[in-house]
Chain A
Amino acid sequence: MKRGIGTKIVSINHVKLEQRVIERANKIKCDVDAKFEVINKKPQWQDYVPVVSACQSNRKKRIFYGETGILTAKKTERLLKRVLVRALGPIGEISTRTHCKFPIGHCAEPHAANNLLKVQQTLASLNQIYFSESRRPRTGEVIPPCENCITVFNNVIS
């Protein structure tokens, strides 16, 4: 067992998670806007990501981020892959078990969870992962989780 994982339970600081996801969304916006506003040079366009999310496990204080994007089965951590496939269907496809129109594993939440699981590989359950509310970098809006994420993650803000 890796040091520090498995025994100690840390309390989830939701206020900090919320602050950090706002900071992250703001940073993404600033980075994209900075590239757009290049003066005297050809501006390099970069599209915004629609949603950014943050998560933390109840084992460590480190916060992990995820953005909407393609998640391939190959890059998905074993625990997450198992839960996604069992609950929703093959990763990257539209689930026939929910009404969600987004491909499985596509949202910011599974990306954040996957990034966490890459580092904290001894987590036994996805219920040990807690999420911030998700934000849209362009507008700063709070984005409610989709049906897929509510199905898979017990501790997603719904």
Chain B
Amino acid sequence: MKVRTSYMLSHDIDWFAEIACMKMHFASNGSIIPITMEVQELRSMQRKVAEMPEVFLEDELIINESYLTFVVNRQREIYNNYLRSKIINDDQTRSLLQEREYVFDREWYLSSFKSFAKKGFISCDWDNELQQYIWVARPKSHEELQIALPPLTDNFICKNVELFRAIGLAKIVIWCLKNNSK
């Protein structure tokens, strides 16, 4: 049985794929997974990843700080809109909320992505506003992982070429596209 569209739209699914020998983790964030997958296949892959040991330490990871800054600014803007909204209509509540300010919980935000990066994956998140996957955390060095993952399709690569450019894989992606189009 294939993973149903309704399920994909209502869940933040962890799925995995391979491109040019790089193992990738994707957090779907309620978007459609671009590769067709059987439920059983997805679950078995998730289980295998869960059982994998962490091979990198915290300081052996690279965090996409520029994307994180973008997220923090966007979050602050959303939160300020919330404070300005017509619903918070009394000054006392507004000042109470303003005192709290927006606190971006960096650890909470990164924890899931870091856990996959520690296992050797390039961990990416689906950005609903930008409508593309962005890498969030990855290991500094490459580790050959003993896990078979489905290769990504050309269609996915075309849509997310920025992701691969950002993680320094643009050349490989272009090479893949050229070779596949022949």
Given contacts A18-B97, A133-B79, A136-B29, contact A102 B9 (CB under 8 A): yes
Once the chains are docked, how many angstroms separate the CA of A33 from the CA of B9? 21
The chain A residue sitting closest to B109, CB to CB, is A139
Question: How far, in angstroms, from A50 to B6 measured CA to CA in the complex?
Answer: 13
What is the CA–CA distance of A18 and B82 in the complex, to the nearest angstrom?
Answer: 11
Interface 0/1 of B84-109, CB less than 8 Å to A: 01011000010011001010010011
Complex Cα–Cα for A36 and B96 (A):
37
8 A Cβ contacts from B1-55 to A: 6, 9-14, 27, 29-30, 43, 46-47, 50-51
The answer to whether A49 and B78 have CB atoms under 8 Å apart is: no
Q: Binding site of A, secondary structure by majority: helix, strand, loop or mixed?
A: loop
Range for the number of chain A residues in contact with chain B: 35 or more
How far, in whole Å, are A46 and B14 apart by their CA atoms in the complex?
A: 9
Q: A15-B93, A43-B50, A103-B6 are in contact. Are A158 and B71 (CB under 8 A)?
A: no
Asked whether B14 lies within 8 Å of A47 as measured between CB atoms, the reply is yes
A147 at the B interface (CB under 8 A): no
For the residues of B in contact with A, the DSSP-based class is helix
Known: A141-B75, A157-B85. A70 touches B10 (CB 8 A): yes
Q: A15-B100, A139-B109, A141-B75 are in contact. Are A155 and B87 (CB under 8 A)?
A: yes
Assembly CA distance A144 to B109 (angstroms) = 17
Q: Is the CB of B108 within 8 A of A139?
A: yes
A90 on the B face (CB < 8 A): no
User: Which residue of the partner chain, among B10, B43, B88, B111, contacts A49 with CB atoms under 8 Å?
Assistant: B10
Partner pick for B12 among A15, A103, A136, CB 8 A cutoff: A136
Q: How far is the CA of A156 from the CA of B82 in the complex (A)?
A: 9
Contact partners of A68 in chain B: CB under 8 A: 9-11, 30
The 7 A-B pairs of least Cβ separation, nearest first, read A50-B30, A43-B50, A48-B12, A140-B108, A47-B11, A45-B46, A139-B109
Contacts A50-B11, A138-B29 known; 8 new A-B pairs at CB < 8 A: A18-B100, A45-B46, A50-B10, A103-B9, A137-B12, A141-B109, A142-B75, A144-B78
* Chain A positions near chain B (C-beta within 8 angstroms): 12-15, 18, 26, 29, 33, 36, 42-43, 45, 47-51, 68-70, 102-103, 106, 130-131, 133, 136-142, 144, 155-158
Give 13 pairs: A residue, B residue, CB < 8 Å, sorted on A.
A14-B93, A15-B100, A42-B51, A43-B50, A45-B14, A47-B13, A48-B11, A69-B10, A70-B6, A133-B78, A136-B12, A138-B12, A158-B85
